[in-house]
Amino acid sequence: MANVRDLKKDINFVLGDIIEAVYVWEYNNTDKGTKESEAIISEAIATFDELIAKVNAKNVEDNKAHFKSIRQELETKGRELIEKINKLG
Residue-wise pLDDT for 13-65, tens only, equals 999 999 999 999 999 998 988 899 999 999 999 999 999 999 999 998 998 99
Q: For residue 80, is pLDDT > 90?
A: yes
C-alpha closest to that of 39 among 18, 9, 14, 70: 18
Domain map (residue ranges) of the chain? 2-87
Between 63-87 and 2-28, two packed helices, what is the crossing angle to 10 degrees? 10
